A = this chain, B = another copy of it.
Amino acid sequence: MIDVGALARRDTFARDLGIEFVEASLGRAVTRVTVTDRHLNFNGVCHGGLTFTLADAAFGYACNSQGVVSGSINAHMIYSMAARVGDVLTATAVEISRSSKASNYWIDVVRADGAMMAAMTGTALISGKPVTV
């Protein structure tokens, strides 16, 4: 398994949004963010784009953890409830299937009280190139 933390450290966009890498194992990764004022949409709740990016980051770390460059080609997101300023959101990506060409991940996003706020299913194409960290 590659050093996923090193991968996360050069994930400029996610880091800039305050998304932290928490931990990873083979085919699994966890990210976290605390919702602040800068993450709000025009209705005053957390923008879906932040929740998506949190889940997408966990997905990206998990599907590249095997050491072969993998890129998302499909992501399906469901939102169960709104998140608000101060909410701590944790995304956990787990691999649900894998072939030589593609892999599928389930990523759930939960609040600190355990409520599932959102969930993503992601599909990544697997290239033949090694991940360099």
Interchain CB contact (< 8 A) of A49 among B49, B69, B76, B78: B49
**Given contacts A80-B97, A96-B119, A123-B78, A71 and B43 within 8 Å (CB-CB):** yes
A81 lies within 8 A of chain B by Cβ: yes
Q: How far is the CA of A60 from the CA of B42 in the complex (A)?
A: 9
Q: Are B71 and A74 in contact (CB under 8 A)?
A: no
A104 lies within 8 A of chain B by Cβ: yes
Which residues of A (66-83) have their CB < 8 Å from a CB of B? 69, 71-82
**Given contacts A41-B13, A42-B10, A69-B43, A123 and B74 within 8 Å (CB-CB):** yes
Q: How far is the CA of A42 from the CA of B40 in the complex (A)?
A: 25
Assign chain A's interface to a size class.
35 or more
A interface with B by C-beta (< 8 Å):
7-8, 10-14, 16-17, 37-43, 47-50, 52-53, 56-57, 60, 64, 69, 71-82, 96-97, 99, 101-102, 104, 106, 108, 116, 119, 121, 123, 125
How many chain copies does the complex carry?
4
Q: Are B53 and A38 in contact (CB under 8 A)?
A: no
Q: Are A79 and B69 in contact (CB under 8 A)?
A: no
Q: How far is the CA of A49 from the CA of B69 in the complex (A)?
A: 18
Chain B proximity of A26: nearest CB distance (Å)? 17
